[in-house]
Amino acid sequence: MFKLLKTDDKTKARRGQLTTAHGVIQTPIFMPVGTQGTVKTLHPDDLVDLGSQIILGNTYHLNLRPGLDVIRAAQGLHKFSSWDMPILTDSGGFQVWSLAKLRKISEEGVAFANHLDGSKMMLSPESSMEIQATLGSDIAMLFDECPPYPCDEKYAADSLALTTRWAKRCKQWHEENRSSIVPWQLDNSLIANPTEVSRQLAFGIVQGSTYADLREQSAKELIEIGFDGYAVGGISVGEPEYEMIRAIDNAVPHLPQDKPRYAMGLGTPPQMLEMIARGVDMFDCVMPTRVARHGLAFTHDGPIHIKNKEFELDQRPLTETTHPSVARFSRSYIRHLWRAKEMLALRLLSFHNLHFYLQLMEQAREAIDNGNFTEFKDAFIARYTANSK
């Protein structure tokens, strides 16, 4: 399922190929986030045009809305959303973490009040995997507890022990039940271009907060259980950047070479390049589309706020390498759209930002293939951060 194609000589950066039922993914890769089964403001054809290889769906939100009855009637999320390429679904653990004031954690799972109407719900390892199987994602994530930052070592250790016990339950449920629930496993005709992979994959999630020994312990325990890939979770939860990098440094060296590594919920362009240099293969983040809705565009010289007056007469495109669909519009015009509250501004900025991220991953892959990843990374970060110093 995962084939390691090339490793950079100077860093731990890797080029790989992950085969899923709905297609082959070239890594390193960034996954646009489609929380509600759609990437905000963009049509699925836009994502194909941008070069998206895979998108992420949200188990918690899709279980609430539209609900599993609707998903079953549509024969899975791929058909429901008209997306016939790979989908990864998170487990709902992070969303439950964000509902800290409304939740109660037990051995069974997490009881909480949902954010829509306050009604009581329970997510367990088994129910999370069942929801993901019903959605029919290509990659399902185990249900974990995401410890807060900061937390003391005892809390982190107890949380990790619970996540490991839940991981075993996730693996058992998945092996015993996926073949009778995943829509495209029941009917292969639901896949436009099927590959040799005929089952839903499952990834484990390394936890352990800021404690190096716990990160190592978590990685080794998950490997013993056995998953198709491994994520590093519990990052981007309020910790400073150096702690985020340390979490990757403390986890990735203990993960197998022949399985994909996924840093969850990250990050800025420089952060992603630094983590690729540490052997990370996959990323997801809401940042490109979220900041677009606040008027921010990514450029090679750092992010810019298009609403600022300095762009009023600026006839240049957002960047010299922006997508042709955006390059025809000047910064001045996009600023005008933003100030006039026109929807096109949100579409153009979202389209551009995702193109910037996906293009960065393509350039990283090329640099690894060409043996000059370190030079590419250092030059990109130097230019990107020059104006912020």
| 207 belongs to an annotated ligand binding site | yes
Could you tell me which of 262, 248, 226, 224 has the C-alpha nearest to residue 88?
Answer: 262
Structure token digits, residue 235: 């990052």
Q: How far apart, in whole angstroms, are the C-alpha atoms of residue 113 and residue 253?
A: 38
Instruction: Please tell me which residue in 90, 138, 228, 281 is annotated as part of the active site.
Output: 90
Strand partners, 3: 17
8 contacts: CB under 8 Å, gap ≥ 6: 14, 277, 368, 371, 373, 374
Contact 174, 129 (CB under 8 A): yes
| Interaxial angle between packed helices 269-276 and 241-251, expressed in degrees from 0 to 180 and rounded to the nearest 10 | 20
| 94 belongs to an annotated ligand binding site | yes
84 is catalytic: no
| 90 belongs to an annotated ligand binding site | yes
| 144 belongs to an annotated ligand binding site | yes
Contact 57, 132 (CB under 8 A): no
Is omega for the bond preceding 66 within 30 degrees of 0, making it cis?
A: yes
Backbone angles phi, psi at 381, to 5 degrees: -65, -40
Contact 224, 189 (CB under 8 A): no
| 91 belongs to an annotated ligand binding site | yes
Instruction: Please tell me which residue in 8, 228, 281, 284 is annotated as part of the active site.
Output: 284
Pairing verdict, β 296-297 and 304-305: antiparallel
Contact 165, 108 (CB under 8 A): no
Could you tell me which of 91, 95, 59, 92 has the C-alpha nearest to residue 77?
Answer: 59
138 is catalytic: no
Residue numbering of the annotated binding site for substrate: 90-94, 144, 207, 234
Binding-site sequence positions:
90-94, 144, 207, 234
Which residues are the active-site residues? 90, 284
